Amino acid sequence: MTEKKKYRSSAWYNSKSHRRDTFIHRGWMRNQGHPNHLFDGRPVIGICNTWSELTPCNGHFREIAESVKKGVYEAGGFPLEFPVFSASESNLRPTAMLFRNLASMDVEEAIRGNPMDGVVLLMGCDKTTPSLMMGAASVDIPTIGVSGGPMLNGHHRGEIIGSGTGVWQLDADLNAGKITEDDFVSAEISMSRSKGNCMTMGTASTMGSMVEALGMALPHNAAIPAVDARRYALAHMSGKRIVEMVKENLTMSKVVSKDSFENAIKVNGAIGGSTNAVIHLAAIAGRLEIDLSLDDWEKCGKDIPTLVNLQPSGKYLMEDFYYAGGVPAVIRQLLEKNLLNKDALTVNGKTIAENNSNAERWNKDVIKDFDNPLVKDGGIKILKGNIAPDGAILKPSAASPELMQHKGKAVVFESVEEFHDKIDDPNLDVDENSILVLKNCGPKGYPGMAEVGNMRLPQKILKKGIRDMIRISDARMSGTAYGTVILHTSPEAAVKGPLAAVQNGDLIEVDVNKGTLNLDVPAEIIAKRLEEYQPVLPEIKSGYQKMYIDHVMQADKGADLDFLVGKRGSEVKRHSH
């Protein structure tokens, strides 16, 4: 074999100066039946797979990987699939978010430590997208994203039913005595009736759309259903394209810039995307050493209407969104209003404008007109005040317009356990004008910042037919949830952020238009309460969780571990046999 040093993998497979190492690297690979010519210096493409039977949303990823491989071989590359930690939103306890950063470390080290010149990221369930993007960003070799795609629309007893969103509705109906336990159980398979991730505009579909808006995947990546043949064609094309990207040395940091993040924030507003995008984009930007703050969300999200009429904000589901034109049709509308950085690059080597300017829109009820949107002020609203000096967030499109300006008495729960114990107590001093406050569910407090911010309403309120109240916490909320829910208050209660000072009966004033969130209590009393406050902290003394608690940053910084921020590159020491 001739020595080729063109690509990174040649240091493993084509080194003449370290022949014994080469024998070992190449020789052991041969036990899988790979012929000689695959080690001739051609681009080696890693396929980073989050397949797991315990991550049902990604359960079809071995098949997607096969389509990627076809494309890689077709373009003259050598594909090698490898597994990484798969954080399942539906199964993993205490919360998948606790393991996003751990998974990103696995991804980063697996890419850097192995002979690959480019990598295809197979992502689907909520945390699998940011963890792979974060890990890959820190290595920064040519990278392309392929999402697994959403499940087909749920159908239950004549009704369309959406992942997550349907659960919250059914749960409220069950608690209000409107449906039986049997009705509840029978909805399970009606909701999840095909392979794929949640088919509402929850966090998985939002992050798939963010990957597309950032330019990190081919057009239509987010919305093609998981079982649609076009999903497999896209995977095949992505495999073909990554080989070209290696030849062009088109690394992740050459594709994704601050402009790309600004575009993603705007697209998030237009799709009515999940609040979790705020935290994940901050973490990905941190890895790429791009400065992205809540102020960027305020600046870029302003005046972006929600165009996409999907649950939880609207009516339809991801399957409908794809048939209506998907993310490209949304991007086109934003481009036509000159709202996007049109020269932002994408993985196919074209700009976002070149990719999407001619995108078709086939259904104007699913993807609304810019001038007749689903919600006029979409996006994510940033709230600041003496409860959240570093910010809190709210998704107006999922909230009740009549609660956008509200003053109410706080009903406080010190922990999620206390919430569960007391919420249905008939003696709880609460009415529909109260504001539910939950503490100690932030990054350090829970730990892992669980999706418990959309607290269930008290039964006595639900029985009155009320379905929404203001809720404030340092937690996150599932992207499939809805309601007037203020999340991610920073700093969190567990580090004595001022949320910790709120007590039962205090008056809280929320003004979403002004972006304010204030406790009507004098500053000196807040300070005194904080001095005396004893956070309800988890008892963790060792293991990964201890490292996580010691190093996790606050929500406004993306809740990454402080020592993981930044690019560490792809250089690796040769290991000598």
Which residues are near ligand FES by CB under 6 A?
57, 89-90, 125-126, 163, 197-198, 202, 204
Shorter beta-carbon distance to ligand FES: residue 442 or 479: 479
Backbone angles phi, psi at 10, to 5 degrees: -65, -30
| Residue 152 half-sphere exposure toward CB, CA atoms < 13 A | 10
In the bound complex, what is the minimum distance in angstroms from residue 97's beta carbon to ligand FES? 12
Shorter beta-carbon distance to ligand FES: residue 202 or 408: 202
In the bound complex, what is the minimum distance in angstroms from residue 449's beta carbon to ligand FES? 17
Edge-first strand listing for the sheet containing 485-486 = 485-486, 470-473, 435-438, 405-413, 507-511, 516-519
Q: Roughly what angle, to the nearest 10 degrees, separates helices 61-74 and 229-248? A: 50
In the bound complex, what is the minimum distance in angstroms from residue 246's beta carbon to ligand FES? 30
In the bound complex, what is the minimum distance in angstroms from residue 34's beta carbon to ligand FES? 34
Shorter beta-carbon distance to ligand FES: residue 116 or 201: 201
CA distance 188 to 184: 7
In the bound complex, what is the minimum distance in angstroms from residue 283's beta carbon to ligand FES? 18
Q: Which of 315, 328, 317, 199 is nearest to 263 (CA)?
A: 328
Shorter beta-carbon distance to ligand FES: residue 93 or 541: 93
In the bound complex, what is the minimum distance in angstroms from residue 204's beta carbon to ligand FES? 3
Shorter beta-carbon distance to ligand FES: residue 304 or 481: 481
In the bound complex, what is the minimum distance in angstroms from residue 479's beta carbon to ligand FES? 8
In the bound complex, what is the minimum distance in angstroms from residue 508's beta carbon to ligand FES? 31
CA distance 206 to 380: 13
In the bound complex, what is the minimum distance in angstroms from residue 400's beta carbon to ligand FES? 24
In the bound complex, what is the minimum distance in angstroms from residue 146's beta carbon to ligand FES? 15
CA distances from 479 to 57, 132, 366, 543 (A): 15, 19, 19, 29
CA distances from 366 to 9, 166, 318, 528 (A): 46, 19, 10, 51
Shorter beta-carbon distance to ligand FES: residue 89 or 298: 89
Bridging pattern class, strands 118-123 and 143-147: parallel
Shorter beta-carbon distance to ligand FES: residue 192 or 251: 192
In sequence order, the 6+-apart residues with CB closer than 8 A to the CB of 157 are 186, 190
Shorter beta-carbon distance to ligand FES: residue 86 or 554: 86
Using the structure block, give the residue that is written with the tokens 């990957």: 211
| Residue 226 half-sphere exposure toward CB, CA atoms < 13 A | 31
Shorter beta-carbon distance to ligand FES: residue 86 or 263: 86
- Tell me the three-class secondary structure of 80-142, residue by residue: EEEECCCCCCCCCCCCHHHHHHHHHHHHHHHHHHCCCCEEEEEECCCCHHHHHHHHHHHHCCC
Shorter beta-carbon distance to ligand FES: residue 7 or 51: 51
User: In what helix (H) or strand (E) does residue 394 lie, and over which residues does it extend?
Assistant: strand 392-394
Which string of b and e fits 494-529 if b means at least 16 CB within 10 Å? bbbbbbbbbeeebebbbebeeebbbbebeeeebeeb
Per DSSP, the residues of 180-241 read: -HHHHHHHHHHHS-SSSB--SSSHHHHHHHHHHHTT-S-TTTTTS-TTSHHHHHHHHHHHHH
In the bound complex, what is the minimum distance in angstroms from residue 558's beta carbon to ligand FES? 20
Per DSSP, the residues of 461-473 read: HHTTT----EEEE
Shorter beta-carbon distance to ligand FES: residue 57 or 564: 57
Shorter beta-carbon distance to ligand FES: residue 257 or 480: 480
Q: Which two tokens stand for residue 329?
A: 């049709």
| Residue 435 half-sphere exposure toward CB, CA atoms < 13 A | 29
Edge-first strand listing for the sheet containing 143-147 = 78-83, 44-49, 118-123, 143-147
In the bound complex, what is the minimum distance in angstroms from residue 473's beta carbon to ligand FES? 21
